[in-house]
């Protein structure tokens, strides 16, 4: 493990390195400025606090009310906080892309970094979805990964356990969205460090158990601490919050505090039964697929490559790698309790990219293989197309495809109705 690579950009950097980093950072900020948006649904989340009697998704609101009790309900303050964390996630992703290019120093590595930054489900999506706690969660995860790659494997639980609990307190969904990346990163350290099947199962079990405290807390918040729905109490709470703020709040956002798991499943099922919603979800998946394929193969290569002469086919390594991939795909489990399907798929793409970059930076691949065209299954022309296509399409939203594809869906549905 080369710890010096993690801090190299801050202590030593040649002219080309500065140019690449500044270019990636500028591109990230331009993507943020051109796509950032706010909504009352997400603004309302910042009013949830323990002081107001909420427990779910209440950490951010509680801290804001504690630090600025006289201004916590100001829309300017809330949007400033949202914009700050959106710029922070853009900066973090730019640094990740730069770290990867710095470790490899190839044109292909630069194109992969650009594919990561410009993908419809990464920076562009976080800007379009500004205000959601996912941004904060991924910033926390990136900091945690930096710590994990600088300490011994046996101490990883000291990072994963408290960080995963922190993520749950931010938003319960982060237990499946972002926290699994930490476990996957810990499992990375077990690759090529054993050959017995029992050792693989032991490593998987011990790593997975680090999420158990956070899982128990999430279940407790979603069941025991979930507010019972009463129309009168709900309306009183809504009127109280609406009166104490200088912006309109969302009833739908407030309702999430009162929905049980059964209600969420029923609500999700009803939300995806319409033809227009299904078409939008399909187009969002199509928009995310090209960069997702790049991220998937990228992670496979950082774990050893695809060719038999590169890939360790021992059962031990195969079990570890399969589990790593399963943790990266953990957000798909949220499909049963939330209809933000594009958001879940975007999280998968983000997880694959982040984990692959950290693995590649800390376990740099042989330069000869990196330069070999057979090292990566896609040509540079393909990566160019992915980058341009991502910039042209723009971001997905939490529940719909990029605007261009959404217009296509609208026209298609109109034609279908005319034919019927």
pLDDT per residue over 315-327, tens digit each?
888 899 999 999 9
- The predicted model scores a pTM of 0.91
Counting Cα atoms < 13 Å in the Cβ hemisphere of 401 gives 24
Counting Cα atoms < 13 Å in the Cβ hemisphere of 104 gives 28
User: Do the Cβ atoms of 61 and 77 come closer than 8 Å?
Assistant: no
Hey, what are 294's tokens? 């790049």
pLDDT for the residue numbered 14? 52
User: Do the Cβ atoms of 182 and 144 come closer than 8 Å?
Assistant: yes
Tally of domains within the chain: 1
The answer for residues whose C-beta is within 8 angstroms of residue 347's C-beta and 6 or more apart is: 121, 134, 177, 178, 331
In whole angstroms, give the CA distance from residue 86 to residue 13: 26
User: If you average pLDDT over every residue of the chain, what do you get?
Assistant: 88
**Can you give the length of the chain in residues?**
420
Q: What is the pLDDT of residues 57-67, one digit of tens each?
A: 999 999 999 99
Residue 358 belongs to what domain range? 4-419
Q: What is the pLDDT of residues 235-261, one digit of tens each?
A: 999 999 998 888 889 999 999 999 888
Q: CA gyration radius for the chain?
A: 22
- Residue recorded with tokens 């099947």: 197
Tell me how crowded residue 300 is: count the other CB atoms within 10 A of its CB.
Answer: 18
């Amino acid at each position: 493990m080369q710890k010096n690579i993690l801090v190299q950009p801050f202590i030593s950097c040649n002219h080309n390195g500065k140019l690449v980093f500044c270019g990636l950072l500028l591109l990230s900020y331009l993507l943020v400025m051109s796509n950032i948006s706010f909504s009352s649904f997400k603004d309302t989340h910042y009013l949830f606090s323990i002081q107001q009697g909420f427990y779910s998704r209440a950490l951010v609101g509680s801290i804001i009310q504690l630090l600025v009790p006289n201004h916590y309900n100001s829309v300017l303050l809330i949007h400033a906080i949202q914009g700050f964390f959106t710029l922070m996630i853009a900066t973090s992703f730019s640094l990740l892309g730069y770290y990867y290019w710095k470790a490899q120093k190839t044109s292909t590595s630069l194109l992969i970094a650009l594919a990561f930054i410009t993908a419809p489900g990464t920076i562009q999506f976080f800007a379009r979805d500004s205000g959601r706690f996912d941004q904060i969660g991924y910033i926390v995860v990136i900091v945690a990964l930096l710590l994990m790659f600088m300490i011994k494997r046996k101490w990883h639980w000291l990072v994963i356990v408290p960080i995963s609990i922190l993520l749950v307190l931010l938003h319960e969904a982060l237990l499946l969205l972002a926290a699994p990346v930490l476990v996957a990163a810990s499992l990375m350290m077990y690759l090529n460090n054993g050959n017995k099947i029992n050792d693989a199962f032991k490593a998987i079990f011990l790593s997975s158990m680090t999420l158990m405290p956070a899982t128990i807390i999430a279940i407790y918040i979603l069941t025991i601490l979930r507010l019972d729905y009463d129309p009168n109490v709900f309306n009183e709470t809504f009127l109280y919050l609406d009166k104490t703020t200088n912006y309109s709040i969302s009833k739908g956002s407030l309702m999430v505090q009162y929905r049980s798991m059964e209600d969420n499943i029923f609500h999700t099922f009803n939300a995806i039964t319409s033809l227009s919603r299904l078409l939008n979800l399909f187009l969002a998946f199509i928009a995310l697929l090209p960069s997702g394929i790049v991220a998937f193969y990228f992670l496979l290569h950082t774990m050893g490559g695809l060719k038999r002469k590169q890939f360790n086919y021992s059962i031990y390594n195969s079990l570890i790698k399969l589990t790593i991939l399963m943790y990266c795909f953990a957000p798909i489990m949220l499909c049963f309790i939330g209809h933000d399907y594009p958001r879940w798929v975007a999280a998968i793409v983000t997880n694959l990219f982040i984990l692959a970059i950290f693995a590649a930076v800390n376990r740099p691949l042989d330069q000869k293989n990196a330069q070999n065209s057979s090292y990566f299954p896609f040509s540079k022309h393909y990566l160019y197309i992915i980058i341009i296509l991502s910039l042209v399409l723009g971001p997905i939203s939490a529940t719909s495809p990029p605007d261009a594809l959404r217009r296509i869906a609208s026209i298609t549905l109109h034609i279908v109705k005319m034919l019927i």
